[in-house]
Amino acid sequence: MEVDQYHIPVLLSAATKALVSDPSGFYVDVTFGGGGHSRAILDQIDKGKLLAFDQDADASVNHIIDDRFSLVRQNFRNIQNVLEALGRELPIGIIADLGVSSYQFDNPERGFSFRFDQRLDMRMNKDAALNAFDLLNTYDTAQLENIFSQFGDFRPVESKRLSVNIIEARTQNQLITTQDLVKCVEFLVPQKVRNQFLARVFQSIRIEVNQELNALIEFLNQLPKVLRNGGIVSIITYHSLEDRLVKNFFKTGNCNGDLEKDFFGNISKPFDLVNKKPIVPDAAEIKLNPRARSAKLRIAQMK
């Protein structure tokens, strides 16, 4: 499969040029996907090394044949354990592109999109225990309301209606396919906003299935332990839930955004912002890759 069919890398130049400060350094790409960012990093280093992570076994088709490169099938929430197990030095640069790959969205069998009628799945790691089918057929009303409210930004009344309709529908027949889900909720909104509405429904379920925010929080909390002093971290987010966590962590050193002070009253945070405002794609990139339109790049440097 061609890499650009798997996933078009977003903000490629901005994310990688800021990252690579030493062509002989060790770098980590924690969301390999189609390998676009990894290839750009390899183009900028000579004697350096690059380690990439991806929990999706399908990403291995994009493996880069290069002595400087290695790929591990792991979620980035395990970064510290993996680096220690491999006996690797602390990297001088880490990059994360938090978006779902185009391949995952466009492969009907993965069950990520309401554009296809396929079995509900949505797992980024196909070996994970929980999938969308199990979630939608076992979660109770309160659990469903919580994920729609937290991860889809639905109002309480909307979350309630979604949950009630899902549970009523599954008492008649299990929700098996993506269109089973669509049919039991799409009538709740006007046709003109149908796609945006369904995208938020599917996003909510996908985030819960993959524990995306929990994994991001665990990853962020490990950064001060796994990045060299002076090292750079570049993170690309695609929705406000992710971006808020990254923004808070870079500014304060914790995901809640609470400023903490040391014994002497100095603000204690491990990073300095490289860009005070997020970098976003320009019109040309969005025209080439419409899925980049919601992307935000934040870059910080370890003190």
pLDDT reading at 241 higher than 70? yes
Does one domain contain both 202 and 277? Answer: no
pLDDT reading at 235 higher than 90? yes
Q: Which token pair is 123?
A: 């797992």
Measured CA to CA in angstroms, residue 263 lies from 256, 268, 287, 301 at distances of: 21, 10, 51, 23
Domain boundary pick from 210, 239, 264:
210
Task: Please give the pLDDT value at position 271.
Answer: 95
Does one domain contain both 130 and 98? Answer: no
Does one domain contain both 27 and 58? Answer: yes
Sheet of 26-29: strand order equals 69-72, 49-53, 26-29, 93-97, 232-237, 296-302, 271-273
Whole-angstrom distance, CA of residue 106 vs CA of residue 119: 14
Does one domain contain both 175 and 52? Answer: no
Measured CA to CA in angstroms, residue 183 lies from 115, 176, 180 at distances of: 13, 12, 5
Within-domain flag for 111: no
pTM score, two decimals?
A: 0.93
Going by the DSSP 8-state scheme, the letter that residue 48 receives in this structure is: -
Domain boundary pick from 164, 193, 210:
210
CB 67 within 8 A of CB 173: no
Does one domain contain both 124 and 149? Answer: yes
Q: What CATH number is associated with residue 159?
A: 1.10.150.170
Q: Give how many domains the chain has, as a whole number.
A: 2
pLDDT reading at 1 higher than 70? no
pLDDT reading at 4 higher than 70? no
The helix (run of H) or strand (run of E) holding residue 72 is strand 69-72
Within-domain flag for 256: yes
Q: What CATH number is associated with residue 20?
A: 3.40.50.150
Does one domain contain both 203 and 61? Answer: no
Whole-angstrom distance, CA of residue 116 vs CA of residue 107: 9
Give the residue-averaged pLDDT of 4-13. Answer: 78
Does one domain contain both 34 and 56? Answer: yes
pLDDT tens digits for range 61-71: 999 999 999 99
Q: Which domain holds residue 36?
A: 3-103+212-302
Within-domain flag for 110: no
**Nearest C-alpha neighbor of 90 from the set 28, 18, 24, 17:** 28
Whole-angstrom distance, CA of residue 229 vs CA of residue 131: 39
Q: 53 — phi, psi (to 5°)?
A: -115, 145
Whole-angstrom distance, CA of residue 94 vs CA of residue 298: 12
Task: Please give the pLDDT value at position 35.
Answer: 94
pLDDT tens digits for range 122-168: 999 999 999 999 999 999 999 999 999 999 999 999 999 999 999 99
Domain boundary pick from 175, 210, 245:
210
Q: Higher confidence at residue 3 or residue 155? A: 155
Does one domain contain both 9 and 82? Answer: yes
CB 50 within 8 A of CB 264: no
Does one domain contain both 227 and 99? Answer: yes
Task: Please give the pLDDT value at position 2.
Answer: 44
Does one domain contain both 68 and 217? Answer: yes
